[in-house]
């Protein structure tokens, strides 16, 4: 497809009429109320829209949102040079859109791979630097081809021995050779190139794990490098002013961001009981020598614990999300918007409507729910979780900060009280009707009635379950 750059829009789109109409509808200066009106006119499914362009294509990442979601809010509710935050930024979708539209941005994610990918996708690299990089890789390529004999030495030097179990010796030797070259590049003082190369290496390992693939990993890596370089070069041509971009590898429940400094938050938090992010990219993280264990301990929505009573996962999740929302309220300027994108989950045959919990909890800390937008996810962009099935729709919760919260995200008593209120309401709903998310399974009536007792048990253990890093086997 022929692509067109629109300098005013400073973004990229195809020639499709619907995309053009959409971009025209969000272009221009809008008052807050006019912006809200425009939200009502947008067709949120964005069916067949181009969503993979420029640096968005660098690396796979689970459950990312489409760029049009942050783009819409950035265009309608911020001005150039204002600051946009995504406290759980994943692979940086929000930050790329902010960068393309001359807004400053801050991205935060506890997953070290996520923050690395985000940094690389939003860091422009000089032409001369790429020349140096490509020369280093050309030397590496010759050296890799001759180097199979050193394989044992390389296997012993691997950052973590577990990796050697899933790849054969030739592949390990080549990947390790690439890693060594990247380390040399770092030693020679080219940190941005080092990070750029690590993302290309990580993406190569990801495709090996997902698709298998022969022994030509060096070619795979070099192809990846080339396409990433093209992405950054194209981006460089479009961006006229480079705004500030800050990427933090940190906990959303304890943001290292100044109070009242943010003009817009757009984020999509993890779902409860859907996936453990640390597992998805375990092999690439191991290869890059990243500490995924620390992330595993602090990951929100992880589900490898509380096996006997899954409703304890819900109170833990609500506690974590409430702490994060208190932090979002603290850093956001008054009257500005906080946008949270999340789909429904499922626990013990019951439907979990996270957006409703977030809306209710937000009211406790100075957020006013303005509207909730339902959107179907394009069939090509759906993803499936073993525990909650196919995720084919999601909700965009739009809240305005109308007050500063005077509570701290570390106030366990307050968190406990609010989560208890939510869990008790939830129990009342389940008392009225059970089995709200059966999805083709056939639990007995007795089994479903047991859920009421399980929720009551989970309410009892809230004080311990909402503590940060509460559960023993985490």
Q: Is 350 in the site for ligand SAM (CB under 6 A)?
A: no
Q: Is 61 in the site for ligand SAM (CB under 6 A)?
A: yes
Size of the residue set binding ligand SAM (CB under 6 A): 24
Q: Is 385 in the site for ligand SAM (CB under 6 A)?
A: no
Pair of tokens at residue 42? 């947008």
Q: What x/- string results for residues 106 through 125 when contact with ligand SAM is judged by CB under 6 A? A: --xxxx--x-----------
Instruction: State in Å, rounded, how far the first CA of the chain is from the last one.
Output: 47
Q: Which is nearer to ligand SAM, 269 or 435 (CB)?
A: 269
3-state secondary structure of 331: helix
User: Rounded CA gap, 104 and 335, in Å?
Assistant: 19
> 399 to 418, contacts with ligand SAM by CB under 6 A?
none
Tell which one of 35, 90, 197, 243 touches ligand SAM (CB under 6 A).
90
Distances (CA, A) of 459 to 52, 310, 357: 43, 12, 16
326 phi-psi bin (left φ>0, alpha ψ -120 to 50, beta other)? alpha
Is the CB of residue 107 less than 8 Å from the CB of residue 81? no
Residue closest to ligand SAM (Cβ): 90
Q: Is 343 in the site for ligand SAM (CB under 6 A)?
A: no
Minimum CB separation from ligand SAM for residue 109, in Å?
Answer: 4
Which backbone phi and psi does 334 adopt, to 5 degrees?
A: -65, 145
Identify which range of 35-43, 62-70, 392-400, 434-442 contacts ligand SAM by CB under 6 A. 62-70
3-state secondary structure of 98: helix
Identify which range of 36-44, 82-90, 424-432, 450-458 contacts ligand SAM by CB under 6 A. 82-90
Minimum CB separation from ligand SAM for residue 451, in Å?
Answer: 26
Minimum CB separation from ligand SAM for residue 228, in Å?
Answer: 17
Which residues partner with 345 through β-bridges? Answer: 352
User: Rounded CA gap, 14 and 302, in Å?
Assistant: 37
Output Rg (C-alpha) for the chain, integer angstroms.
23
> 263 to 292, contacts with ligand SAM by CB under 6 A?
268-270, 277
Q: Is 74 in the site for ligand SAM (CB under 6 A)?
A: no
User: Rounded CA gap, 394 and 171, in Å?
Assistant: 40
Is the CB of residue 382 less than 8 Å from the CB of residue 308? no
User: Rounded CA gap, 193 and 128, in Å?
Assistant: 11
> 161 to 200, contacts with ligand SAM by CB under 6 A?
none
Q: Is 251 in the site for ligand SAM (CB under 6 A)?
A: yes
Tell which one of 65, 133, 221, 283 touches ligand SAM (CB under 6 A).
65
Binding site for ligand SAM (CB under 6 A): 61, 63-65, 88-91, 93, 108-111, 114, 251-253, 268-270, 277, 298-300
């Amino acid at each position: 497809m022929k692509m067109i750059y629109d300098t005013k829009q400073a973004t990229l789109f195809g020639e499709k009429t619907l995309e053009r109409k959409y971009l025209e509808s969000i272009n221009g200066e809008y008052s807050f109320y006019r912006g809200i009106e425009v939200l009502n006119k947008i067709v949120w499914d964005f069916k067949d829209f181009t969503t993979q362009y420029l640096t968005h294509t660098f690396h796979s990442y689970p459950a990312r949102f489409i760029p049009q979601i942050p783009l819409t809010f950035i265009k309608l509710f911020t001005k150039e040079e204002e600051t946009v935050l995504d406290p759980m930024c994943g692979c940086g979708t929000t930050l790329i859109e902010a960068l393309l539209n001359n807004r400053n941005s801050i991205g935060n994610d506890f997953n070290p791979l996520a923050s690395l990918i985000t940094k690389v996708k939003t860091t422009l690299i000089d032409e001369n630097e790429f020349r140096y990089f490509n020369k280093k890789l050309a030397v590496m390529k010759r050296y890799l081809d001759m180097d199979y004999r050193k394989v044992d030495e390389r296997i012993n030097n691997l950052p973590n021995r577990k990796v050697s179990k899933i790849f054969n010796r030739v592949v390990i030797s080549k990947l390790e050779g690439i890693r060594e070259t990247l380390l040399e590049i770092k030693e020679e003082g080219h940190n941005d190139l080092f990070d750029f190369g690590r993302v290309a290496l990580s993406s190569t390992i990801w495709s090996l794990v997902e698709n298998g693939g022969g022994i030509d990993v060096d070619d795979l890596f070099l192809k990846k490098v080339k396409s990433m370089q093209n992405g950054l070069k194209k981006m460089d041509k479009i961006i006229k002013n480079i705004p500030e971009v800050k990427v933090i590898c940190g906990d959303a429940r304890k943001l290292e961001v100044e109070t009242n400094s943010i003009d817009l938050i757009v984020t999509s938090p993890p779902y409860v009981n859907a996936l453990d992010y640390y597992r998805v990219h375990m092999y690439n993280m191991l290869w890059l020598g990243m500490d995924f264990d620390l992330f595993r301990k602090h990951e929100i929505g992880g589900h490898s614990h509380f096996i006997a009573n899954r409703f304890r996962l819900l109170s833990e999740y609500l506690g974590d999300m409430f702490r994060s929302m208190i932090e979002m309220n603290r850093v956001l300027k008054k009257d500005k918007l906080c946008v949270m994108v999340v789909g429904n989950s499922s626990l013990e045959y019951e439907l979990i409507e996270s957006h409703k919990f977030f809306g209710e909890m937000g009211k406790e800390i100075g957020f006013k729910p303005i509207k909730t937008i339902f959107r179907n996810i394009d069939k090509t962009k759906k993803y499936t979780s073993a525990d909650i099935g196919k995720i084919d729709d999601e909700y965009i919760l739009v809240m305005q900060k109308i007050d500063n919260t005077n509570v701290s995200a570390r106030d366990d008593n307050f968190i406990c009280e609010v989560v208890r209120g939510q869990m008790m309401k939830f129990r009342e709903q389940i008392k009225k009707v059970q089995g709200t998310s059966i999805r083709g399974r056939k639990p007995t009536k007795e089994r479903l009635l047991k859920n009421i007792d399980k929720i009551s048990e989970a309410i009892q253990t809230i004080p311990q379950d909402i503590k940060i890093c509460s559960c023993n086997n985490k």
